[in-house]
Structure 1
Amino acid sequence: MTEIMWEDPFCGEGASCFRLGTDITGNAYIAVTGQEDTPLTDTTEALRTLIRDIKAGKADHLL
């Protein structure tokens, strides 16, 4: 598996904590903390858009 450089966990008000990561080829990853061995992967821009939409309240049901 590609080596992923994980950022510190982001924990919201609920019990779920997420981690964001990148690899040397520019792919971005997001995973539930503790489950980094099975991350969701996409382009950095796609994950950035997802996070912006969640923060803007457009996807509250996902969290």
Structure 2
Amino acid sequence: MDEITWEEPFCGEGNSCFRLGTDPTGNAYIAIAGQEENRLTDSRDALRALILDIKAGKADHLL
């Protein structure tokens, strides 16, 4: 398995913290901080779309 480079945890107010990661082959990962072994995998484009929607307030209930 390729090595995943994890970003610093992002914590929403009063919610779980999550981390984003990428690997050299172009996969993107999202996981609850401290539980990176239980990660979701998708393409960078799909993860980027999810994050942009969250930041735009379309999916703030996910934080």
Structure 1 length-normalised TM: 0.89
User: Partner of 1:58: helix, strand, or coil?
Assistant: coil
List aligned pairs for 1:1-63, cutoff 5 A: 1-63=1-63
Question: Number of paired residues?
Answer: 63
Over the aligned positions, Cα root-mean-square deviation in angstroms equals: 1.1
Instruction: Could you list the structure 1 runs, at least 4 aligned residues long, displaced by more than 3 angstroms after superposition.
Output: none
Residue 62 of structure 1 and its aligned partner are, at CA, apart by 2.0
More helix by proportion, 1 or 2? 2
Letter in 2 for 1:2: D
Structure 2 length-normalised TM: 0.89
Residue 15 of structure 1 and its aligned partner are, at CA, apart by 3.1
Deviation per CA, 1:9-36, whole angstroms, max 9, x where unpaired?
1111123111110111010001000110
Unaligned runs of 5+ in 1: none
Identity of aligned residues (%): 76
